[in-house]
Structures are given as C-alpha cells and as structure tokens.
Amino acid sequence: MHDLIDEYLNFMLVEKGASQNTMDAYSRDLVRFARFLEGLGNPGFDEIRPQDVTSYLSFLHNSGLAANSMNRSLAAIRGFYKYLLREKKINRNPASQIELARVWMRLPDVLSQKEMADLLAQPGSKTPAGLRDSAMLELMYATGIRVSELIGLTINSINWHVGYLVASGKGEKQRIVPVGRMAYESVKRYLETARPVFLKGSDSNLLFLNRFGRGLTRQGFWKIVKTYAAKAGLSRKVHPHTFRHSFASHLLEGGADLRSVQIMLGHADISTTQIYTHVTREHLKEVHRRFHPRG
C-alpha cells in the first residue's frame, strides 16, 4: 500500500500541481491510515470496506483530532481511492459515501482599523530592518497574501509601473492583486535603501531578505509580527494570517463586493470567502448598537 501511496502523491504533484504543504499533509494522513489498517490485520487495499474507513475516523476522533483535520484525512483517503479507481486497481471507492465531519464555523481573528494602524506604525524607518519590516507588514495588509506567498516574492513579482503584484498561491496558481499607494511606497523605499544592506554584495532574486542576505522563513516572519504586536500594545493574539483576515474584512466593511475579494484572496470557492461576511455583520450590529438612538 505504501508504494501505491507514493504513486498517488506523485500523481498529485505532477498532474494536479499540489502544493508542498498539501503533499506533506496528505502523505502524513495516508501513512497514518495505512498503519491503522495494518493494526486491523493488514487487509489488502482492494479489500477495504466503508466500515473500515469509518472505524479509522472514529479512531482519529477518539485521539482528539479536530474536525478540520479529520476532514482533511478523509479528503486524502477519498482522493487516494479515486485515483486507484481511475487506474483500475480497485472496483469501488470505499470512502465515496462517507460524509465529512461537521465543522462549526469559527470566525477569523480580525484587527480593527485602528489596531491595524497602530501595528503598522511600529517598525519605523530609521533602520534597514525597520524599513524591511514596515514594507512587509504594509504589503501583507494591502494585498491579503499568505506568508508563504510573501516570502516567495521576487523583485520581479511587483509591476512597478502599474502597481500590482503577482502572487503564487496554493498549487502554484497565480493571481494579480493591487498593491495600494502606501504599501507601494513602503516597498519601494525598502528596495532602494535597505535591501542593498541586507544583500551585502551577494546575489538573490528574493524581494525580502534576512540579515544574512537570504530569504526569510515563516518562523522568522512570525517572530517579527509578534514583536510589533507587543510593541503596539495589542491584547489579542496576532499571527501572520491576521493580516489576511483583516484585509478581507476591512474591504467588505468599506463596500467591496464579495467576488472581488474572493479573486484577490485566491479562493477557489466563494463559500470560503463568505465567512468574512459574518464578521462584517457583527461590525454592522456594533455600529447600529452604538449610533442608533434605540440601538
């Protein structure tokens, strides 16, 4: 079964263009499923019954796995058996009729516009690191890109004449996102004055560099965000994805249409973007409560 898993993952990479994160997650899920089946007496992959899959999901639930993680595991199993069916290695998909675990919608963490302004004011412009950090935070808030997209930007990712960037999202899908005046000026200032300091005469095409002239890591950016959130005196927990959530919510609060926000975020399904309308409704309720004479 492990050989078949390798075949499937190669199919996902080559033909489906799956991202490395998806590949890693599916690999872990399928290997864990294979080990579970070995504990059942190692039935052949073509002998798996629907009840074996449901038993595995019950095992995951009893192990304390969250519903989102269970659903991802089930998606990996479904995709694996769909591939085997396509390759005529099996006659039926034992996971095809099994429903996803119910996931209660969790509203994303969003900063208010004032909180975001306070956070963006923290890096300053007196040091190369401050210029770089300011440019990164401004760009994250202006475009809603993911951390992986931010650290993967090159100096050619931004069209300096028109003012937009090309982001490479999940599955290497590219999308165009407007940058905005303030972020544009901040990144331009970093590029002209601070980046050469980090580059130190070496050669790199990446836009944002660390003090060694190499690309930043997700963990490195996470530390930067936590540092400035603490300096801004924000009581709530702030993480890199908070910028993406705030970007979408503030656009919708300002009157942007959902479809445009979906395109800028790179969501394949608009239902994923709709979670931000719940945040906006909460904002509208608060406005009504504060300003209506009988609120």
The Cα–Cα gap between 120 and 170 comes to: 27
Closest CA to 104 of 68, 54, 76: 68
| Residue in this structure with the two tokens 């991802």, named with its chain if needed | 72
**278 in active site:** no
Given 170, 188, 189, 226, the catalytic residue: 170
**292 in active site:** no
**170 in active site:** yes
What DSSP designation does 194 have?
I
Given 78, 82, 189, 241, the catalytic residue: 241
What DSSP designation does 269 have?
S
Q: List, as one string, the DSSP characters of 203-227.
A: ---BSSB-TTSSBPPHHHHHHHHHH
The number of CA neighbours under 13 Å toward the Cβ of 5 is 18
**35 in active site:** no
**244 in active site:** yes
The Cα–Cα gap between 91 and 107 comes to: 41
**283 in active site:** no
The Cα–Cα gap between 73 and 67 comes to: 10
Given 26, 56, 83, 276, the catalytic residue: 276
Given 146, 175, 195, 245, the catalytic residue: 146
- Beta carbons of 136 and 240 less than 8 angstroms apart: no
The Cα–Cα gap between 31 and 177 comes to: 37
Given 195, 244, 245, 250, the catalytic residue: 244
Active site residues: 146, 170, 241, 244, 267, 276
